[in-house]
Chains A and B, each alone.
Chain A
């Protein structure tokens, strides 16, 4: 039993203790509660003479790091955080402050313990912690590259996605990491945001760890300190590479539609002319007009149907049949069919075709249109060149190289720069004014790849081009 019941009212202004908006107790050396203010008694019950750890915490022994015990030891003030259970068994997070009460001879007679309920603050602290970690998760998983940059364009913070794609190189310069440049970019949205405090946006091409070009839309926003000064700029970049690729595809599709419309118009013009001339021939019984007019009709019907076949071919995904293709014979047939046009446009058409080859398995019609498209493309390249000093020629070579059939079409026409060559097979692409629809090479590419082969081009402006198709052969047993 404790020696005395400590009357709080004996302490200065006892009423003050009762009305204080916190809990106050006085405890002896054995942790007995020897005094309590009204609020403590109301909320936690009257437990005078009982041990604090038993009643408030349901423990059998004193708590570790007990601030009351420490004050008894050193006479100084101590603080601590504890969870106490009130008379209804509800937990309260409290902040405890203790200080010594001394008797007349200066010995520590008791310890006064003041505890403030910080349940709400604790709750807020948890929420803050939660939202911070949620923010961090968001920062890391958001499908954008986020970096925070200082005035010298150092990356001071970056999200996980940024680090995954561009490396964990905090402290490096943005332009080095994003663009592999040695100095800052001429137009920089980060610099603009530092200058005017507003959001800015830009489209950029950056290079990732793997060396791939990544198209991004960049948004920048200022990061301010509590006084409103801009300390950093946050840069959020969204990868739009796929959208760009789609845009390119759509644009080239638009170009193709336009070029088909244009070609169709020309062919219709030719048909109309043919009908007109034929009619003149019938009217005057003029055989020559009839022949000329009818040839125009036939030619344009042929062009129209070839174009429509190409369109249909490009529109479909399918795997070709595997029929034996007599490549040398088929190649000679295409050359014979192309000869009249070659003569028309004054191009010398040559052929070097192997006598005998292993069997090519595939769709004969497709291989036919592959070769005729390449020849017709080569002739177009000669016609568009318009150099009077040149004798234009197109050569078709067909031969076997180990287990591959090689189809080579070479011309000494206009040739192409690197950019044109790069776009050749991936786009519907025509450089030929009224001549081409841009379908021919697309068809050639499609046939080659559908037959498990490849197509490549070697060209230089003014020097002509060489297209090489390689198709796998069934080697004779």
Chain B
């Protein structure tokens, strides 16, 4: 049986490396995308089993990406986990709040993990969503 594939969308390269090694260690395949556009291309080409998405990327590309995949019937079934630093301060942390404020237009994500990422927390969530 082939390993399930996770797409990690984060503009912080180190976070991508960290999460891909963490997932690989725990029996998953992992691929990375640095922004929403790249993520959309990879979702279509690679059909991952789950996506982790940093919403607070520049130019709101994370939010755009999420709306895009949730509006396409062939992609909307892929579970998405938001990974973001909601400190309420700095960066584009308002992205999450703004997203929730308008979420009636799209379904909520399947999971949510706050930065700094606890390895066991995100693994537990991923295992629950797509199990090994």
Contact = CB atoms under 8 A, between A and B. Distances in A.
B109 interface: no
B56 interface: yes
Given A262-B87, A270-B18, A277-B18, A433 B12 contact: no
A296 B92 CA distance: 23
B11 A434 contact: yes
Contacts of B57: 433-434
A274 B21 CA distance: 10
Contacts of A255: 89-90
A373 to B, nearest CB: 19
A255 B85 CA distance: 15
A99 interface: no
Contacts of A258: 87-91, 93
A216 interface: no
B21 A280 contact: yes
Interface stretch (B44-52, B100-108, B111-119): B111-119
Interface in B69-96: 85, 87-93
A270 B15 contact: yes
A269 B59 CA distance: 22
A272 B37 contact: no
Interface residues of A, number: 34
Contacts of B117: 269, 272
A276 interface: yes
Nearest to A268: B116
B87 A269 contact: no
Nearest to A384: B58
Given A258-B87, A434-B92, A292 B61 contact: no
A296 B22 CA distance: 15
Contacts, number: 100
A432 interface: yes
Given A265-B85, A280-B25, A272 B18 contact: yes
Contacts of A384: 58-59
Q: Is the interface of A mostly helix, strand, loop or mixed?
A: helix
B125 interface: no
A280 to B, nearest CB: 6
Given A269-B115, A280-B25, A388-B37, A259 B14 contact: no
Interface range on chain B: under 10, 10 to 19, 20 to 34, or 35 or more? 20 to 34
Contacts of A299: 14
B17 interface: yes
A349 B13 CA distance: 21
Contacts of A261: 87, 89-90
Given A386-B58, A434-B56, A434-B91, A276 B11 contact: no
Nearest to A433: B58
A277 B17 CA distance: 8
A259 B90 contact: yes
A270 B14 contact: yes
Contacts of A265: 85, 87, 115-116
Interface string B1-38: 00000000001111101110110010000000001010
Contacts of A388: 37
A296 B14 contact: yes
A280 B24 CA distance: 11
A258 B90 CA distance: 4
A260 interface: yes
Most buried by B among A254, A280, A344, A434: A434
A384 B35 CA distance: 10
A227 B57 CA distance: 67
A289 interface: yes
Contact of A266 (B37, B58, B61, B85): B85
B33 to A, nearest CB: 12
A257 interface: yes
A300 interface: yes
A44 interface: no
B90 A270 contact: no
Given A254-B89, A261-B87, A433-B56, A276 B37 contact: no
14 contacts: A257-B89, A258-B87, A261-B89, A262-B91, A262-B93, A265-B87, A270-B14, A272-B117, A274-B14, A276-B21, A277-B18, A296-B17, A384-B59, A435-B11
Interface of B: 11-15, 17-19, 21-22, 25, 35, 37, 56-59, 61, 85, 87-93, 115-117, 119
Given A262-B93, A269-B15, A388-B37, 5 more contacts: A255-B89, A257-B90, A261-B90, A272-B116, A434-B57
4 tightest Cβ-Cβ pairs between the two chains A and B: A258-B89, A273-B18, A262-B90, A270-B14
